[in-house]
Amino acid sequence: MTGIIGKRRNIFLVWLVWPFLTLGIYFLVWIYKINRETKDFDARVDVNPFWAMMSFLIGWIIIVPPFLSTFRLGQRIAQDQAAAGMRVSCNPWIGLVLFFVAGLNALYYQNEMNAVWEHYGNPPEGTPVPLRGVLV
């Protein structure tokens, strides 16, 4: 089974610079992209990136969806780490707590996804790579 490498992003640009310059719009774009990359990397990961993004855009109406989506993103990243055959270091509980601390979950989660790409030697985005581990 193979997966597709996603984009390695600068964690500080993801967390602070782009969201600030775009008045928060970039965060929604990033949520879509990171969820799509988790699915593209391992097709066994069950996520619809559009609905993950919508949980942040309109989910605030019923309060719970953004928090659930934040937690589930951490689980998906951990699944990708396991599929890559690396030690799972992404903890969704840490991501959820960091969500309440200046939105640091974006910094944390992007750093964890960058670790997956680094595990394969940082090949160009879109490169197919073999999955070495099992789904958690």
Tell me the average confidence (pLDDT) per consecutive run of 10 residues in the chain, 136 residues long.
94 96 97 98 96 95 96 98 96 98 96 97 94 72
Q: What is the pLDDT of residue 124?
A: 94
Q: What is the pLDDT of residue 111?
A: 98
Task: Check: CB of residue 45 under 8 Å from CB of residue 81.
Answer: no
Between helices 25-41 and 49-57, what is the axis angle to 10°? 150
Task: Check: CB of residue 108 under 8 Å from CB of residue 98.
Answer: yes
Look up residue 6 and give its two tokens: 């996603």
Look up residue 64 and give its two tokens: 């719970």
Q: What is the pLDDT of residue 135?
A: 59
DSSP secondary-structure letter at 36? H
Helices (H), the chain: 11-12, 18-21, 25-41, 49-57, 64-83, 92-99, 105-119
Picking from 28, 22, 51, 27, the residue whose alpha carbon sits closest to that of residue 39 is 51
Look up residue 30 and give its two tokens: 């990033």
Query: Length of the chain in residues, anyone?
Result: 136
Q: What is the pLDDT of residue 134?
A: 66
Q: What is the pLDDT of residue 42?
A: 95
Q: What is the pLDDT of residue 132?
A: 84
Strand partners, 4: 128
